[in-house]
Amino acid sequence: MTESTSPSAQAKAALDAVRDSQQSLLADYTPSVFIRLPIALSLSAILFGYGMTEHENQWALAMWVGAIGFVIFTALYVYSYRLQGIRIRFLPRSGSSGTLNIAVGLVFALLAFGSRLLRTELGVEFSPHICALAAGVLFFWLQARYPTGEVQVGDE
């Protein structure tokens, strides 16, 4: 670089280089199906148990087992990224990532409360099965498409 290049231009170029290297590392690394699948199944167990629970019955145990599994497998998921040198943040960095996270949260809340409402109020007995399956498939796909929860630069 020449001496006429300003320090702010050099800093911007350095930050761009770091972001590009992080994006290429994210594009190259996807966690194993053997980590993503148990997380999705744990989430499905939570939603299924919630949809089936009435007055503290055995389905509450499914929610507890699902929650414990979700925490354990999510910790393994984060650790697998940490081994690759990638730090997963729990709060989104960009507006598009925040919008994605809010939309996904609303969809999961709708699936959870909808499954219970459909079963208890409208008598659709298989609704927890379908909603839990939909939540698990959606979560599994989201982990494959947006593994860190961030919308990558090329996806915006």
In a domain, 5, yes or no: no
In a domain, 18, yes or no: no
In a domain, 85, yes or no: yes
In a domain, 75, yes or no: yes
In the predicted structure, residue 156 carries a pLDDT above the cut 60: no
Closest by Cα among 37, 144, 40, 149 to 104 = 149
Supply the range of the domain harboring residue 127.
31-151
At 72, phi and psi to the nearest 5? -65, -50
Quick one: DSSP state of residue 55? S
Closest by Cα among 79, 100, 91 to 35 = 79
In a domain, 107, yes or no: yes
Q: What is the pLDDT averaged over residues 24-43?
A: 80
Q: What is the pLDDT averaged over residues 41-46?
A: 95
In a domain, 10, yes or no: no
In the predicted structure, residue 145 carries a pLDDT above the cut 70: yes
Number of domains in the chain: 1
